[in-house]
Structure formats: C-alpha cells, structure tokens
Amino acid sequence: MKKILVSGAAGFIGYHLVSYLLEKTDYDIVCLDRYDTSGNVNRLASYLSDDFKKRIKFVYHDLKAPINEFTAKLIGEVEHVIHLAASSHVDRSIEDPLSFVMDNVVGTTNLLIWAKSQGGMRRIYKEPQNPGDKASGEFIWAGKFINFSTDEVFGPAEIGHNHKEDEAHKPSNPYSGSKSGQEAMGYSFFVTYHLPVITTHTMNNFGEMQHPEKLLPKTMRSVIEGKEMPIFAELQDGKLVGVGSRFWIHSRNTASAVLFLLEKGVAGESYNIIGFDELTNLEIAQKVANIIGKPLIPKFVDFHATRPGHDRRYSLDGTKMREMGWKPEVNFEDSLKNTVDWTLKHPEWI
C-alpha cells in the first residue's frame, strides 16, 4: 500500500497539500503534527469526506525530539516524505531565534534521521544489469523526501533580479537563517546517505484557512472593521520611498507543484515554485479591499525601524520548473477572489 508522510499537515499549506493529494492520488497519508501556533486539525476535519477519512491517519509528534520506536510504529514505512513542519514568522524569530533553530534545523534533522532508518522511507531492490552477478544488485529509495524551504534564504532581490536555485544564501533574519540551515542538513543527507532529498523554495502562499497573523487575513479584518491596515514600507524623513513586493501563489498551486516534483523531480536538486504575479503589499491589500467593496485605510510602517532583517523585495526565477512543464493551475485573480469570498462566508478564520 502506497503511503506519504506529511509533516506539518495541520498547518495552512499542509491542509491544501493533503486535500490535493487525497483528490489527485490514491496514496494513504500520515499527518504528523504537534498542533501548536499554526497547526489546526479543524482545517482537515472540515474537509474530509468519509472516503477520505479511510486514507488519512493523524500522529502527534514534536520534531524537536527524535522519532522514537513507538511513534515510528504508528507512522509505519512510507513511500514519500513531504516536510512542511516549520516555524515561519519573521517577527517571532527576532524575539526568539533559538526556537527557530530547534524547530527548523534540529526538527528537520530528526526527521531526516528517521527517514533513512529501517522502517522510515521504503527501499526496493534494483536488479543487477548482469543477472548472474547478484552482488551488483542494490537497494534504492522508492520515493522522495521533499524539503520545504523559502525564497527568504537568498535575502533581498534587487529590482530586475530573480534568484535562481543555485545562488548563494544571504539570510537576513533568524527565520531565514534557520531555513538555510534546514536546507543544508537536507542536502548533506543526500550526499552522505543518498537519501533522495529535493529542496523547494516557495514564495508568499495565500488561500483559505490561513493563519490570522498573515497579510491577507489581517487585511480582510482591517477592511471589514474599517481600521488602519499596517503596510511595511521604506520611509525617509517620513516620506514613502517604496513598499515591499512579493510573488504570490495560492497554496493549491503549490500543492500541484509538489505532486509534479514527486513524479519528475530529481534527488539532490532544488526547485523554485512561484506564481504568475509580483505585487507590492499595498497592491494586494487594495485588491482585497476592492473585492470586499470597502475602503482600505493603509498605515505605512517603516520596516527598518520596526522589523530588523525585513527584506523589501523577494523574487525567484521560475524557469527551471516552467521548462520541466509545470505551471500554476489557477490564475492569481481568480485565486484571490475565491479566497476572499470563501473567507467572508467563514469569518471565524479572520
């Protein structure tokens, strides 16, 4: 029976990924999570049909601790691992950097150690080219380990430049520094143990059931309540110089990219997953307000003064994935409208 482990499955992207895999594949899914700040099992509980419930299993574990034999038995042997579990908020990483090292570097290492162990990721026997030479046969990994990183490991991108997968890391804050360390550990397990690790860099994800601290839910709440919406910007002598910009992608499109890489990704490689559109934070906040039909009241906040380590522009080059044949399934405008409309009908998520 084919089985996938998804760490951080109760998180926002985890929900979209698990629901997408249930729809598009016949895999059973083990959801590994500690259900803390970002994890909320109600995301999946609200989605699962009776048929899907038969294919999903929840296992509680905090990856800061090694996966012991009892938890390993609950998980069982799996074909693929998709590692989403992480601490991901820049402000919190500035306040408590060590916790991000523990979650993102130590936690990833514990998962990698389990994945390469007996009873972790499944291996299959590859017959030798010469049938008479049985000694030349070998056991190879049956699946892949997708290690989710972020665009932020590369640091800020100058106007006109999009970071490629193989560029040097220049993390600007403890969060991105910890994700760079997570990447390094994943690649080291590929080199040392031949574990089939694939690294992904994603940009700003949005969608239904996102954590209220993120830009889109915060914007919706501010617009609905008629309150000021803080927008990080660069100010000089109190005057607006520029607003941070990002590429935006709905998490269902991210999920489709992951499934694509499970099929076509190459172990040891890195892949940038990006959407179609680059927008400033002000532009996307205004689009949200337009959909709601109420005014946006922006309050520009100098990120240099209030958020050390904040990068004004992030940008990735999506050529590699595009040339392999992947592109987002749903365009940005439709994704954004669907997200806002759904959230207005489910205000408990803002």
CA distance 292 to 29: 36
Q: Can you tell me the distance from the alpha carbon of 273 to that of 321, in angstroms, rounded to the nearest whole number?
A: 7
Bridge partner list, 125? 139
The residue annotated as part of the active site, out of 28, 79, 151, 208, is 151
Report the DSSP pairing between strands 229-236 and 298-302. parallel
Count CB atoms within 10 A of the CB of residue 95. 11
Could you say which of 79, 152, 183, 277 is catalytic? 152
233: which 2 tokens? 């910007």
| Residue corresponding to tokens 């992904």 | 200
For residue 301, give every residue at least 6 positions away whose Cβ sits within 8 Å of its Cβ, in sequence order, or none. 230, 231, 232, 233
203/307 Cα distance (integer angstroms): 19
151 is an active site residue: yes
Indicate if 152 belongs to the active site: yes
Q: Which of these, 208, 191, 209, lies nearest to 199 by C-alpha position?
A: 191
Q: How does DSSP classify residue 157?
A: -
Q: Identify whether 175 is a catalytic site residue.
A: yes
DSSP 136: G
DSSP structural state of residue 38: S
> Catalytic: which of 15, 20, 27, 175?
175
- Which residues are known to be catalytic? 151-152, 175
